[in-house]
Amino acid sequence: MANKTLLVAQREYLENVRTKTFWIGILIVPLLIGAMVGATALLEKLKQVQRYTVVDLGPGDLLERAEREFRSGDAKLLFQLAAKATNDPRLAALQQKLGATGDGKEPSGEQLLAVFEWMQQQDPALLAKIADVQTAKQYTYVPIAELGITATEPDARLQQLNQRVQAGDVFGYFVLGADPEQTTSDFRYVSNNLTDGALRSAYENTLTRLVQKERIAKAGIPPKVAEHIQRRVEFQKLQVDATTGATTDVKNENVIDKWAPVGFVYFLWMAIFSIANLLLTSTIEEKGNRTIEVLLSSVSPHQLMQGKIWGIAATGLTIVGTWVGFGALSAWLAPMFLGDTSGGMIGALLTALRNGGYLFAFVVYFLGGYLLYAAVLVAIGSVCNTLKEAQNLMQPVMMILMVPLLAMMFIGQEPNGLVAKVLSFIPLFTPFAMMNRAGGPPQTWEYIATTILLIATIWFFMRAAGKVFRVGVLMTGNPPKLREILGWLRQS
Q: What is the pLDDT of residue 386?
A: 79
C-alpha atoms less than 13 angstroms from C-alpha of 245 in its C-beta half-sphere: 0
Report which residue type is found at 297.
Answer: S
State the pTM of this model: 0.66
- Please list, residue by residue across 91-110, b when 16 or more beta carbons sit within 10 angstroms of its beta carbon and e when fewer do: eeebeeebeebeeeebbbee
How would you write the pLDDT of the chain (492 residues) with one tens digit per residue?
567 788 888 888 888 788 777 788 777 877 777 677 667 666 766 778 888 999 888 877 888 888 877 876 555 555 555 555 555 555 555 555 554 444 445 455 555 556 666 666 666 665 555 555 555 567 888 888 888 888 878 888 889 999 999 998 999 999 998 888 888 888 999 999 988 888 899 899 888 888 888 888 888 888 888 888 878 787 878 888 777 878 887 776 677 777 778 878 888 888 888 888 888 888 888 877 778 778 877 888 888 888 888 888 888 888 888 877 777 676 666 666 555 445 444 555 566 666 667 878 888 898 899 999 988 888 888 888 777 878 888 888 889 889 988 988 898 888 888 999 999 999 999 999 998 888 878 888 999 999 999 999 999 999 888 888 888 777 776 777 777 777 777 776
Q: What is the pLDDT of residue 103?
A: 43
Q: What is the pLDDT of residue 181?
A: 80
Q: What is the pLDDT of residue 332?
A: 67
Angle at 270 between CA 268 and CA 271, to 5 degrees: 65
Angle at 277 between CA 422 and CA 20, to 5 degrees: 135
Say if residues 18 and 137 touch (Cβ distance below 8 Å).
no
Containing H/E element for 56?
A: strand 50-56
- Please list, residue by residue across 204-239, b when 16 or more beta carbons sit within 10 angstroms of its beta carbon and e when fewer do: eebbebbbeeeebeeeeeeeeebeeeeeeeeeeeee
Say if residues 8 and 303 touch (Cβ distance below 8 Å).
yes
Q: What is the pLDDT of residue 102?
A: 40
Containing H/E element for 150?
A: none
Say if residues 91 and 178 touch (Cβ distance below 8 Å).
no
Say if residues 191 and 54 touch (Cβ distance below 8 Å).
no
Report which residue type is found at 336.
Answer: M
Say if residues 435 and 261 touch (Cβ distance below 8 Å).
yes
**Max Cα distance, the chain (Å):** 98
Q: What strands lie across the sheet with 188-191, from one edge to the other?
A: 139-141, 50-56, 172-176, 188-191
Q: What is the pLDDT of residue 307?
A: 87
Q: What is the pLDDT of residue 424?
A: 93
330/336 Cα distance (integer angstroms): 10
Of 65, 76, 71, the C-alpha closest to 107 is: 76
Q: What is the pLDDT of residue 278?
A: 82
Q: What is the pLDDT of residue 177?
A: 86
Of 466, 434, 481, the C-alpha closest to 453 is: 434
418/482 Cα distance (integer angstroms): 34
Reply yes or no: is the peptide bond before residue 441 cis, omega within 30 of 0. Answer: yes
